[in-house]
A = this chain, B = another copy of it.
């Protein structure tokens, strides 16, 4: 009997209990099913085929380069978040259950089995909401993928080129699948970094485990069975949990598939598979269209400031004017900004009293950017929010809702006490696709995040290792260099 026949029979049998319960629940009146589009053929299999066969040499230069930037940015935020209470709790809770000490924790001394290490590093990298963004879907793609394959690379030999290829393929898989169900899936409440992220992890880990096509199909199916994260988690540690658990779930899926633990052959597109169950929209062309020709992974962006994107244009303008004019706070009479309504709606807090509140205050953000010329975690600390100079300057910041200004723009005028006015209009903030962070800016962000966690020399070595990942004999070097000593 063919496998297909067997599976059809099993599926029919599994449906039996549902039917038989009709006797007790009048199931005879099964609710009419809403019309669904005809299922596309072989989406899962074609995606698996692509992942299994895509080689490092196939990657265009710009895609490789963006993959390296994605890696560097991720390593920096993973180190940066490593001492947060959230990570302390995760380490303490999971230590009694950890497997062998297979993989490093970025910025820390402990070692865990690869699944728990991937979880903890994934959590760490997302804590400050300072990671990367696939702007169309708001997926933060690197967390679920990089944490998984860096951990794996400490357990089996993975060259830098193989690693980079897997990272790109994982991000690509994650973003394409996210695109296929966007925006409906996110809008209804799923934390898409977690729900799409598990596919990215499974794909990247499965690639490095050399799964064959059938095994990769099953890995995708097992990943699809383990979505992670709801948007209600925002505001709690659960938000950071989501990309971390997605990373671990992807390793779990690929590991089982590597031993021929079977799943459906069409889990993404089947009538009661992933896309139809978890979303009211399914566009499979987003997954399969131009595979290997068009790369979502090339569109990744990196947060330049450790706060929500709606404040980034104003911070950008403030830093530019400060630096160009060597401004000090005492020179400033007033700061007028023309902003979109969302800036006041989401970040309108006038008197933040502690660091976290500062992330919701355009008044603080502009003031600290003018005083300190930066918008990193340090600028959203209790220290910064209570600094008398910054507090004083805050009250001179005057945002005004102005038609024609969209959320990615700002029009800033600084009025100086000597009568001069300084003007800056931002059409696209630093960190956008139009104005990406430069390599140097990524290095500065990294160094700032690593400060106090690993030495400046160690940070420099990790940065260099990331830039040179393709020539590393073993990608594990990056993880090993990123621990605390």
A477 part of interface (Cβ distance < 8 Å): no
A225 to B271, CA, bound (A): 23
Does A456 reach chain B (CB closer than 8 Å)? Answer: no
Find the B residue at minimum CB distance from A25.
B136
Q: How far is the CB of A42 from chain B (nearest CB, A)?
A: 14
Verify if A433 is at the interface (C-beta below 8 Å from B): yes
Given contacts A92-B259, A261-B237, A408-B22, contact A189 B16 (CB under 8 A): no
Interchain CA distance A78-B135 in the complex, whole Å: 47
Q: Which of A271-310 contact B (CB under 8 A)?
A: 271-274, 276-277, 307-310
CA distance A484 to B228 in the complex (A): 35
With A22-B406, A93-B256, A234-B11: A309-B221 Cβ-Cβ less than 8 Å: no
Tell me whether B188 and A272 are in contact (CB under 8 A).
yes
Whether B235 and A11, one on each chain, are in contact in the complex, defined by CB atoms closer than 8 angstroms, is yes
Known: A89-B260, A98-B99. A308 touches B14 (CB 8 A): yes
B183 and A31: CB pair below 8 A? Answer: yes
A277: which of B190, B258, B312, B432 is its contact (CB, 8 Å)?
B190
Q: For the complex, give the distance between the alpha carbons of A113 and B9 in Å.
A: 35
How many chain copies?
A: 2
A119 nearest in chain B by CB position? B252
Q: Report A73 CB to chain B, min CB distance, Å.
A: 15
Determine if A231 is an interface residue (Cβ-Cβ < 8 Å).
Answer: yes
Q: Contact check, A241 vs B225: say whether CB atoms are below 8 A apart.
A: yes
Kindly state whether residue A12 has any CB partner on chain B within 8 Å: yes
A24 contacts B408, CB within 8 Å?
yes
B97/A97 in contact, CB under 8 A: no
A401 interface hit (Cβ, 8 Å): no
Question: Would you call A225 and B236 a contact (CB within 8 A)?
Answer: no
Please state if A256 and B433 are interface contacts (CB–CB under 8 Å). Answer: no
Is B31 touching A184 in the complex (CB atoms < 8 A)?
yes
Least Cβ–Cβ distance between A424 and chain B, in angstroms: 17
Tell whether A7 is near chain B: CB-to-CB under 8 Å.
yes
A12, closest chain B residue (CB): B346
The answer to the question of A1 belonging to the interface, with a C-beta cut-off of 8 Å to chain B, is yes
- Which chain A residues numbered 203 to 248 have a C-beta less than 8 Å away from chain B? 218, 221-222, 224-239, 241-242, 245
How near does chain B come to A127, taking the closest CB pair, in angstroms?
11
In the complex, whether A114 has a CB less than 8 A from a CB of chain B is yes
> What is the CA–CA distance of A76 and B256 in the complex, to the nearest angstrom?
25
When each residue 417-437 of chain A gets 1 if its CB lies under 8 Å from chain B and 0 otherwise, what string results? 000000000001000110000
Residue of A11, A30, A100, A277 ringed by the most chain B CB atoms within 10 A: A277
Smallest CB–CB gap between A13 and chain B, Å? 5
Chain A positions 342-360 with a Cβ under 8 Å from a chain B Cβ: 342, 345-347, 349, 353-354, 356-357, 359-360
Closest B residue to A268 by beta carbon equals: B232
Q: Measured between alpha carbons, how far is A356 from B310 in the docked complex, in Å? A: 58
State how many angstroms separate the Cβ of A443 from the closest Cβ of chain B: 23
User: CA A213 – CA B273 in complex, angstroms?
Assistant: 36
Counting CB contacts under 8 A, is A35 at the interface?
A: no
- A–B pairs, 8, beta carbons within 8 Å: A9-B359, A13-B308, A13-B359, A15-B234, A16-B311, A97-B255, A98-B99, A225-B245
Known contacts A31-B184, A232-B270, A233-B263; 11 additional CB pairs below 8 A are: A15-B308, A17-B309, A20-B310, A23-B408, A86-B261, A89-B259, A194-B225, A232-B271, A237-B261, A238-B263, A238-B267
